[in-house]
Structure 1
Amino acid sequence: MSRNDLIERAKLIVPLLTYIEKATGTTATTIGKTKFMKPCPFCGKNKNHHFAIDTTKNLYKSFNQCVPSGSIIDFIMHYEHLSKNEAIKKLIDLANLTTEWEETDMSVKKKKTHIMESVESKVQFNDVDFTDLVEKAHRNVNQTDYFKKRGLSDNIINQYKLGYAPEGFYFVIENHSDIQEQPYEKLNYYKCLLPIWNSRGQCSYFITRIEDSNVNNDVTKTHNLKGRTIELLNERYLMDGISREVIFIVEGYFDALSIEDIGYPAIALNGVNNVNRLKKLIEMHQEQLEATYFIIIPDNDTAGEQLIKNINKTNIEYDVLELPDGYKDANEYFVADKEAFTLFIRKGVDRLLNAKRGDFLLNYLDDFYSMIEDNEFLPISTGMERFDTILGGGFFPGLYVLGGPTSLGKTAFIHQIADQIAEAGTPVYYFSFEMSRNELIARSISRLSFLENPRKAMTVTDVTAGKDLESVSLHLNNYKKIANRFEIYEGRLNDTIQKVEERINEIGKYQKNFIIIVDYLQVINAKSTSTIGERSTIDTVVTSLKQISRKFNIPIVLISAFNRSAYYAPISFEGFKESGVIEYTADVLMGLQFRNLPQISNQKDDFKKKEIIESFKLKEPREITLQVLKNRFGSASEQMHLQYFAKYNYFRSV
């Protein structure tokens, strides 16, 4: 019987469910055909459908991804903090198959001996321990800001014990007897020590590097130890007995640490000519690396091209993640924009792994059920009962578009809704590309004054002119409970949709349920070179906002102007035609119009139409209708009648 057959036999003898129940002291609950552990053995969450066990396949899965899914061996590894080989050995012992395992172990060892001898004879390892030396240099790390300039966090700097020697390489010569080099002038440039740690936790090699890139051109940036074998940074990942789903391969030391800093394992070749060492190490440890996926990020230069050529001469299976144009290497991208680099790496891993696994829907069904069970999103009330009813309960995650002619109160209406949402407790982030923050605050104060006492209400001009400072102070104090959950981003004419997305990405790091309002569509650029109002630009903005709403599972409300031909006609899809894909992309499409507007739809005289419209504007309050054209969350063609007190920016449902 082979070792693999023996492992499979042990899995049958020791059922996963039985082992977990005994290890955790908890009895599983049965829901349908699946067993669930509550609380979760790893994160302790006390939820149903969180940690599931498939007894037919003898596999477990964490829907919250607090631990990688797998078999009993994976569970033992993570629960008892063992290596894969240690977990297998424990399973074999539990199954009382130790004797048979030792017999297969002897046969395997005999079979592998001559193979490993031939491979290992070609791979040299350093037999010297530099740990004390680099730890001493690490104590000086605060004397330089070089590593911070490379974008590295304190956690990574301390984890790898990056070091600094003010006297340069002379420090190395003076503090370690095994250094086989004689002092010479240029060695004092190499002040930064970059340790390489082996699988035993020892520093078996290190690189020294210049701190100042402006030194003489005849001084190389790095200096390797003479008389010692160049080792790969983190080659220990290939031989430490831990199975990893992904390992990145890069050329430079700081490229690897950039990837490590965001949570992914990475190996640095420390030169494209070291590919052969990588190849031999992978061959030596094929069993550990059987499920590992290698992703290479080559530099954007001739060295990167050579790296791929060298890799292609081996039998290493890999995929390439190409850096965007404008960045020479991974660390340069990391330093320039850590957030974008993190997204680049994560999306790259997801894309490549999905391509490897096959992105079939079967992979998502369990996650889909978990998402439904754990869904904590509730519709966000608008503060208007009738509006909530029309929307199906309030705002749901998706893209909402409100259109209408100019000067009809689109901003006033949505701004009032935003105030009401914030007051009820949901954070609101308002991107204003037309009005200033001060003007919007003044509108809120005006509205609050009207609600308190219509006879003493203040207009926006009254507020900003300080007509009644005592009243302004009173209403500002009341406004604080709204302002506590309301952010206004003042957009500029050259701002792009990328600016909006960057800010929302920042918000999404610390907020879960929130709402975004964008005012308004026609003044946002798709990119710095686009022209406001271009149809392709508008299409880009609309589709980008829809993608953002899906990414963060939030409602986004977008205000849009109507094309001029729709100013004097009842609201219809035609009013949005110049807005490109908006009709098809929006989840909810609605507009504001004068309530009596249909009565002029048959009027042929344009001057007469304008005259009637102006008469509508003179009314106080104005009679407005909100008309829904499309609604994926409720019924379409619904209407809501409103009274608009334009002087005080207040809408009332009637």
Structure 2
Amino acid sequence: MTLFTTQEKVDRYGALKSYLMNVMAYYKIKPSPKGGSGMYVCPFCGSGEHSKGTGAFSVKDQQFWKCFSCGRSGDVFDLVGKKEGIDNKEEQRKRVIDIIGGDPVPSGIELPAPARNTPPLPKKEKVEEAKRNIKLWHSRVDSTAAQAYLKDRGFTEQTINKFNLGWDDQQQAITIPYPGKAYWTKRRISPGELGKYDKPKSEDLGSEPIFNESALQQSEPVFVCEGQLNAISIEQAGGHAIALGGTSGTANLMRYLQKNNCEAPLILSFDNDEAGKKASQSLAWDLNEKNIKYVPGKFDFDANDCNDINELLQKVPDKLAELIEKNNKEAEKVRLGKKSVEELEISANYLNKGWLEDCKLFSNLPPKKTGFDIYDGESNGGLYPGLYVLGAISSLGKTTLVHQIADQMAKNGEYILYFSLEQTQFELTNKSISRTTALTNGKDKAISAIQIRTDKLSQNQREEVAKAFEDYKNKVKDHMFIVKPSFANTKVEMICDTIKAFIEIYKQKPVVFIDYLQLLEAPEDLRLGDKQKTDYVVKRLKELQSNENLTMIAISSLNRSNYMTPIGFESFKESGMIEYSADVVLGLQLQCLDEKEFNSDTKKDIAKKRELIQKAKARNPRKIKLVCLKNRYGKTNFVDYFDYYPACDLFEEDLATLAKKESINDGKFTTRKVCY
């Protein structure tokens, strides 16, 4: 036994909360004329006093209240606080005690600590026994009694087999296994003293699960029923349904919804009796509290003289199919979320106002310069809000190029949020310092990132590194943010959450860099293959980019089978969503892939190709070609040429090759190849 103070007892047991109805009576909160049982006139917004008389102030379990009109909610303390302007919790408690005429739990009373109920775990031997019994019972479903009962219920042979329904001759009961679970329930045909239902002991097979739980794992609307036969009736008539095993199963559903991501809107489909109506109202309350999408089911029970969905299947099966379709359409309206009817009306009036506002918005968003003059000129000025994907084989410097662009944009005043899933911030900073030494002292006197990292420097080099570091720091200032996720947390949701947090904290829309796509993970519970995973990642990134109007650049690896062929969409690993969702798709390749030897596939030519590629990789600088495969903001199929100096992590636009191949050496471009 544990002795608590009065305040602890109130906090722990909510003794005062049960006096909500007394306090409502004190404030003269009246039932609404037409709101139905449990609905009252709202003391704050007056809902229920208007012409319709349908109050939205609801009470649950005589302890909690919520107005579905004005959105206010709480317990007895919140009601007192809002009515009398009392913010302090202790003062609210004192006022409640004053209203009800005294503390219901006097000081010094001993109260037992609440028991902690841990759900029992299924026993392995009982699970195996249940599986055997389910199989045995189904083998006996052809018995005369079982067939007569199930046919009378309106079930087809296909439905009986789909749900593995069976027959227990000993108990004269229909057996209903839970799909995908070692669990069952029985419905006795002649209940007698044993009662109508039977189910396993919790100590044998654990607590009762949700019937047909897998229906919640798809995105189409799901009917929430009391009984299993009602859910099976919905499934036979063309819908998706679950059963809670009675009105008390709502808590089980809420636990599931809080632990799992459920995209399916719910259709509340309880029995047409007092218990079903109360359970539906209680579940609706809980779903509203958690902002979970649902609609109340409409089944015309009274018009068809039916008490539940299975009776509709028996009496008017065609009508049930029609009602399922209508309810599904209502639920689909809920799925629209932000694209509600009101927003669709706004969309219809887009030409009246929205288009001009969008023009104004985008006119205030000039393209962001990359620091490479040729690329910016070819791409209509630079980078626009959108999802950019850059792909390349290994050793071509895709990380170096993208990181250099990030540095150049940071020096130009852009806020950069760089997600590096492979290299550390230390490694990337060393690249920046090495690049700075090359630009300051010349490439022949540059100090490599490896030298800086290993501290293999002469005194003079150490001084040059210190100068380069200060120069880089002063130019980038506080605009470069590098995030190195742990290997245990590379989920795309982490990327999205970090970006949102950055915008919230710094009040800036950063240019986002992601290195690289294939290292990002989808949620584990989705169990996706490599292609599906990449599609999910690209879709989530594009969704966030679009919602926040961001400029986002992601690196993608390429298929090994395309290492000796010019780059194209087929080069991108698992590239379905990349091709369709990205606004701009860019590829890096060695310039030598344009040579005639790469137009043949004979074994002799393959050997020659490998030799040419190895020589091209060994060159200093490496000759790199950038190809634009897709561009929603300007011309497609433009190219840019680069000299890549791996020793100092530097890319420069190759003006000589550009002049030779594109005939653009007209004095327009200077020998200044990088705006750094």
Residues 429 and 525 (structure 1), Cα distance of their counterparts in 2 relative to 1, 3 Å cut: same
What is residue 189 of structure 1 aligned with on the other side? 6
**Aligned equivalent of 1:477:** 470
How big is the shift at 1:516?
0.5
Partner residue in 1 for 2:17? 222
1:500 matched to 2:450? The reply is: no
Aligned CA-pair RMSD: 4.3
* Identical residues among aligned pairs (%): 29
| C-alpha distance after superposition, 1:534-590 (max 9, x if no partner) | 111000111111111101101111100110111000111220263232111111111
Which residue of 393, 404, 407 corresponds with 1:405?
393
Residue equivalent to 1:370: 357
SS of 2:634's equivalent in the other structure is coil
Larger Rg: 2
Larger mean Cα displacement after TM superposition, 461-470 or 228-237: 228-237
Distance 1:356 1:416, change over 3 A: closer
> Whole-Å Cα distance in 2 between the matches of residues 562 and 364 of structure 1?
41
Q: Structure 2 vs 1, CA of residues 270 and 256 (structure 1 numbering), >3 Å: closer, same or farther?
A: closer
Alignment length, in residue pairs?
A: 394
Structure 1 equivalent of residue 546 of structure 2? 550
Q: Output the CA distance in 1 between the equivalents of 2:23 and 2:64.
A: 23
1:162-221 deviations in Å (ceiling 9; x for gaps): xxxxxxxxxxxxxxxxxxxxxxx9994346xxxxxxxxxxxxxxxxx83347xxxxx758
1:93-242 equivalences under 5 Å are 188-190=5-7, 210-212=10-12, 220=15, 222-224=17-19, 228-229=23-24, 235-239=42-46
Q: Judging changes above 3 Å, is the alpha-carbon distance between structure 1 residues 248 and 421 closer, same or farther for their aligned structure 2 residues? A: farther
- The separation in 1 between residues aligned to 2:436 and 2:469, in whole angstroms, is 9
Which of 471, 479, 486 pairs up with 2:480? 486
Pair 1:249–1:444, CA change in 2 (3 A): farther
Aligned to 2:598: 601
Counterpart residue identity of residue 24, structure 2: T
Q: Distance in 2 between matches of 1:418 and 1:436?
A: 15
Q: Distance in 2 between matches of 1:253 and 1:439?
A: 62
- Residue of structure 2 equivalent to 1:584: 580
Q: Kindly tell me: are residues 636 and 270 of structure 1, through their superposed partners in 2, closer, same or farther at Cα, counting changes over 3 Å?
A: same
In 2, the alpha carbon distance for the partners of 1:223 and 1:574 equals 66
3-state DSSP of counterpart to 1:623: strand
Aligned to 2:376: 388
Distance change in 2, residues 1:211/1:356 (3 Å): same
Matching residue's letter, 1:351: G
What TM-score do the two structures reach when normalised by structure 2?
0.51
In 2, Cα distance between equivalents of 1:519 and 1:254: 52
The aligned counterpart of 1:418 is 406
The aligned residue for residue 434 of structure 2 is 446
Alignment partner of 1:301 is 2:239: no
2:518 aligned partner: 522
Superposed CA deviations along residues 324-352 of structure 1, whole A, max 9, x for unmatched, are 89xxxxxxxxxxxxxxxxxxxxx989827
Q: Deviations over 1:594-616 (max 9, x none)?
A: 11212231343333322211100
456 and 353 in structure 1: CA distance in 2 versus 1, 3 angstrom threshold: closer
Per the alignment, residue 267 of structure 1 pairs with: 72
Amino acid at match of 1:546: K
Note if 1:361 corresponds to 2:356. no
Secondary structure of the residue that 1:449 maps to in structure 2? helix
Contact 2:391 2:555 in 1 (8 A): yes
Partner of 2:329 in structure 1? none
Q: Decide whether the 8 Å contact of 1:427 with 1:485 is kept in 2.
A: yes
SS at match of 2:72: strand
Distance 1:189 1:372, change over 3 A: farther
Q: Which residue does the alignment assign to 2:155?
A: none
Distance 1:348 1:547 in 2: 20
Please state how far the C-alpha of 1:424 moved relative to its aligned partner: 0.2
Whether the 8 Å contact between 2:17 and 2:75 is mirrored in structure 1 is no
Structure 1, unaligned stretches of length 5 or more?
A: 1-184, 192-208, 214-218, 275-298, 326-346
231-240 vs 506-515, which moves further: 231-240
Q: Shift in Å at residue 444 of structure 1?
A: 0.4
Q: Secondary structure at the match of 1:628?
A: strand
* TM-superposed deviation, 1:465: 2.2
* 1:96-143, Cα deviation, whole Å (9 max, x unpaired): xxxxxxxxxxxxxxxxxxxxxxxxxxxxxxxxxxxxxxxxxxxxxxxx
- Give SS of 1:636's match: coil
| Contact 1:524 1:532 survives alignment (8 Å) | no
**Does the CA contact (< 8 Å) of 2:391 and 2:556 recur in 1?**
yes
- Closer, same or farther: CA 236–557 of 1 in aligned 2, 3 Å: same
CA contact (8 A) 1:626 1:641 kept: yes
Structure 1 position 427 matched with structure 2 position 227: no
Looking at structure 1, the residues matched to 6 and 367 of structure 2 have their Cα atoms a distance apart, in angstroms, of 62
Cα offset, 1:355, TM superposition: 3.4
**After the TM superposition, which of the residue ranges 403-412 and 228-237 deviates more from structure 2?**
228-237
Residues 329-380 of structure 1 deviation map (CA, whole Å, 9 limit, x = unaligned): xxxxxxxxxxxxxxxxxx9898278236654622444234223224432211
> TM (normalized to structure 1)?
0.53
Moved more, 395-404 or 230-239: 230-239
Question: Which residue number corresponds to residue 635 of structure 1?
Answer: 635
Change (3 A) 1:225 1:190: farther
Contact 2:530 2:574 in 1 (8 A): no
CA gap 1:188/1:553 in 2 versus in 1, 3 angstroms: same
Kindly state the Cα deviation for residue 442 of structure 1 after the two structures are TM-superposed: 0.5
Distance in 2, matches of 1:248 and 1:536, equals 46
| Secondary structure of the corresponding residue to residue 229 of structure 1 | helix
Q: Is the 2:384–2:551 Cα contact (8 Å) retained in structure 1?
A: yes
Q: Measure how far apart 1:422 and its partner are.
A: 0.5
Q: Is the 8 A contact 1:536 1:580 kept in 2?
A: no
1:351 aligns with 2:337: yes
How far 1:399 moved relative to its partner? 0.7
> Can you list the C-alpha shifts for 1:454-505, whole angstroms capped at 9, x where unaligned?
2321101111123233222211111213151011110233410011011011
Q: Is the 8 A contact 1:589 1:628 kept in 2?
A: yes
Structure 2 counterpart of 1:472, one-letter code? V
Evaluate the alpha carbon distance shift between residue 464 and residue 237 of structure 1 in structure 2; reply closer, same or farther with a 3 A threshold: same
- Helix, strand or coil: the match of 2:574? helix
Q: Structure 1 residues 423, 252: CA separation in 2 closer, same or farther (over 3 Å shift)? A: farther
Cα pair distance change 1:484/1:313, threshold 3 Å: closer
Q: Aligned to 2:395, what secondary structure does the other structure show?
A: coil
Q: Tell me, what secondary structure is at the counterpart of 1:237?
A: coil
The CA distance in 2 between the partners of 1:253 and 1:386, in whole Å, is: 71
Mapped contact 2:419–2:483 kept (Cα < 8 A)? yes
